[in-house]
A = this chain, B = another copy of it.
Amino acid sequence: MELQTIGRSLPRVDGIEKVTGRANYTDDFKASRMLFAKILRSPYPHAMVLGIDASRARKLAGVKAVLTGADVPDEKLGISVRDRFILARDVVRFVGEPVAAVAADTVDTAEEALDLIEVDYKELPAIFDVEEAMKSDPAVAVHEGATSYVFSPGPQFYGFDRQRPNVFAHYQMGAGDTEKGMREADLIVENRFVTPRIHHGAMEPHAAIAQVEFNGGLTVWVADQVAHHETRAELCRVFGLPPSKLRVIVPYIGGGFGGKTNSAWPAPVAMLLALKTGRPVRLVFSREEVFVDGLTEVPMVLYIKDGVKKDGTLVAREMRVILNSGAYSNRIPRMTANMSFGAAGLYRMPYFRWDSFCVMTNEPPSGPMRGYGGTPLNFAIESQMDMIARELGIDPAELRQKHIFKEGEKNLVGGVTECIGAAESLTRVSKWIEERKTIPPEKGPWRSGTGVAVVGKIFRSGGPAAALVKVHDDGTVEVRHSASESGQGCNTVMAQVAAEEFGISMDGVKVVFSDSAVTPYDVGSIASRSTWNTGHAVRLACQDAKRQIFRLAAQRLKVPAESLEIKGGRIYVRENAPQGIQVHDLFVRDGLLTPGTWLLEAGEILGSGVYAGASGRPGDEKQQRLSGAVFAYGAVAVSVAVNVETGEVRVLKAASGHDMGQPINPRMCEAQMDGGVGMGVGAALYETMAIENGVTINPNLVDYKLPTMVEVPVGEDAASMLVTTPLHKDGPYGAKGFGESTNCPVAPAIANAVYDAVGVRIKSLPITREKILEGLSK
C-alpha cells in the first residue's frame, strides 16, 4: 500500500505552540502553595565536610526547610555504579557538588538562606588529569572505599578495575590479534587525540517540581529524556517507593541532547524538600548549575595506532580511550562499551582491538551528549584516516570508500551490516563540496581547504517501548507514549505513524505527553531510538485499535472483520467500498436526552502495542553483543578558510549526508542534519569548558562560546542530503533512527579541511586560533 503520510514533510505538531510561546515547560507549571528551592554547592574540588550549621538559614523568615547530607536516603544515585548521595555526605568531590538545599516561599529568600549556611570544610588534594588519575597508584582516589559501591555490569562490562582505584569501568573488545596485524603492515600510524568538556547548550535549564500525594506517593514534573524508564526507577529505588507511588510527568523539554538523562538533578532534591515540607517544591537550575552539575560531554584522551599496507589497506587498529567521568560515574561506564560499536561498525579491517576506561577525577560529572562519545571518537578516527591518506598520497575520500563495509558484510563485532548508506553519503557530500570549492584566495591572509569525515553510529533498537492508542467518538486518534518529546520531533513522528495507519490527516491525531499515570512504558528519548522503537509500538497499537474497530463494525455491517478497511474515519468493506460505517457511529447515543456518546460494547477503543526489539527479550544471555543494534551512517564535507595571520577559521560550506531508511518526515531529517552541523561547528572551533583547579571559570553563555548563525553555514552554503536507500527491513516503514550521528563527523571534517588549507594538523579540540598559529610557526 502506498504511503500517504509517512515520508511527507508535514509541519511539526508542536510547532505553533512553540513559536507562539504557549508551550508549557516544567518551569511554567504552578502548584498551590508551591515553594522554591535552591542548592548550596561545594566551592572545593575535593574536601571533607566536617560540619554544617544551618541554624541561621532555618530562622530566616520564609524558609520552610533546609536539608543536608544527613537528611538524604542512604541509597546512592547512579545508573551503572551507585556512587552519589542526593546531597553530599562527609566528602565533596567537585566544585558545584550539592551540599545543602533550601525550600522557601520565594526564590530570593531561598538564595538569601544559602548565604546563611555555614559549612566547615577540610580541603583534600584533588586530581584533574585523567591519565594521572587512571594510574594504579594515583595521588588521589576520588572515591575512597569504592568497593562498597554496587555495580551491576551487563555482559558488555568487565566490571571494576580493582587495581586502579579511579577506574570505574574497563571495557575491552576486538577481533583477531592486532600485534600480528601490526607486523603485517607496511606503515604504523600512531596518534593521540584530546577532546574537551563541552556543554549541551539546551535552552531550557534542568527543572523539576515535586508534589507529595496524600497516599504517601509523589508526583514529579521533570524535564527528563528518560523519565518513565530510568529516572522513575532510579528515584523509586533511592526513595524506597513502589513504582505505583511515583508519578512522573514530562511536559515540553527545551532541548536534551543527552544532557537530561540523569536523575541526579533537581528531581530528587525537590522530592526530598517536598517530603519534608508537605508542599510542592520547584527547583530550576541556573545556567551556571547546568554547566557544573547538568552533565557535560566526557573529555577524552584517545590513542589510536593503525597498521596499514602501502596501498592504504588497513590491517590492524588498536584504540585506547580514556573517558574523564568527572567526580561521579553516571552513564560513563556504559559509554565505554557503546563507543566501541562506533569504532567497529564502519570500516573493514582484519585486526582490531579496543580498550576503554571510565576514570574518576575531581571535575564536574560527565554525561552523554548527542552521539554518546561520537564526537571524540569520530574526531580521532576520521583525523587518523586523513593522516594515513595524506601520508600515502591517497585521496582521503577514496581511502574511506575502500574500507566502508558493504551491505550484508559482518562488522568487527560480528553484527551484520544492514542498510548502509555511508558510501553514497560520502560520494554525495564530496561532490557537493567539490562543485562549490572556493578558489584559493591566495591574495591576502586567507587560505582555503576542504575536508570530509564519515560516521557509523549505533542506535538502540532494542529498548522496549509500549504505546496506547485511543480512538475518540469523534474519530480522533489519541496516541499515548512515553518517549518524551525533547524537541527532536518524536511526537510529530508518532502522529504521522497514527495518521498513516488510520488514513487520516494529522489534524485527526492527538499525541499525549509522557505521564506515567497515563502513558505506558518507554525507555525514553535517547540513543536515536524513538522513531524505531516507539514508532513500532505506536504502529502496533494502531493496528490493535483497528482490530477492535473492525470487530465492532463487523457486527454492525454483518461482514467478517477481516474484510474491513479504514480511511478518513470511515470503515468500509474492502471489496465493496460503498458499504461502510463511520467510526463515530460505533459509539451509541445515550437515549436519555443527552448529547453524550459512549461505546456500549467496549467502553473505550483502546489499542495497545509493545515493541521489544528484534533481539527479543532484553538481557537474554544468548543475545549477541550487537543484536538489536542498528547503525546509522553518514558523511560530512566542509570547505573552510583559514587566516594565516590570525589563525581564524571560517567554515564556508558544509554538506551533510545521512541514511535513515524511510524518512518519516524529510524536513525534520534535514533539520537534524542542520542542527548537527551547528553543534559540530561549535565542538570543532569554539566550545570548551575552562576548568582551573576544578573551578569552571566560564559557566555562562557569555564566556562559553556557542556558535551563532554567523559561524554556521546556512542557506546556499549548506546542504542536508537524505540517503534513503536501502530501506531497513526491520524498521517501521523501513525507517531507522539517525539523529545522533549528524554532529559527530563535523569536527574531524573541519580539522581535515584546516589541514588541507594550511597544512596544520590539530589533534585536540577545539581548533583555536592559538593552536593554528602555533602549528604554522613550526
Contacts and interface: CB of A to CB of B under 8 A. Distances in A.
- Per assembly, the copies of the chain total 2
A599 interface: yes
A334 B593 contact: yes
Nearest to A512: B517
Contacts of A603: 466-468, 520-521, 537, 608-610
Given A334-B593, A620-B591, A474 B243 contact: yes
Interface residues of A, number: 77
A606 B17 CA distance: 32
B472 A598 contact: no
A775 to B, nearest CB: 43
B214 A14 contact: yes
A464 interface: yes
Given A473-B243, A474-B242, A610 B599 contact: yes
A591 B20 CA distance: 42
Contacts of A610: 599-603
A597 to B, nearest CB: 7
A347 to B, nearest CB: 27
Contacts of A89: none
Contacts of A28: 32
Contacts of A570: none
Interface in A577-602: 588-602
A229 interface: yes
B593 A244 contact: no
B244 A590 contact: no
Interface stretch (A233-241, A309-317, A637-645): A233-241
Contacts of A402: none
Given A476-B244, A603-B609, A595 B17 contact: no
A38 interface: no
Interface in A212-264: 214-215, 229-230, 232-234, 236-237, 242-245
A152 B604 CA distance: 26
Contact of A214 (B22, B537, B599): B22
A444 interface: no
A49 to B, nearest CB: 28
A759 interface: no
A518 interface: yes
A79 interface: yes
Contact of A233 (B512, B588, B596): B596
A464 B588 CA distance: 11
A463 interface: yes
A576 to B, nearest CB: 28
Contacts of A334: 592-593
20 contacts: A24-B32, A30-B30, A30-B34, A154-B593, A229-B594, A229-B596, A233-B596, A233-B597, A242-B472, A464-B590, A464-B600, A466-B603, A467-B603, A518-B518, A521-B598, A589-B619, A590-B619, A591-B620, A601-B610, A602-B608
Interface of A: 14, 16-17, 20, 22-24, 28-32, 34, 79-80, 152-154, 214-215, 229-230, 232-234, 236-237, 242-245, 278, 334, 463-464, 466-468, 472-474, 476, 478, 510, 512, 517-518, 520-521, 523, 537, 588-604, 606, 608-610, 612, 617-620
What 5 pairs between A and B have smallest CB-CB spacing?
A591-B619, A466-B603, A17-B214, A244-B476, A242-B474
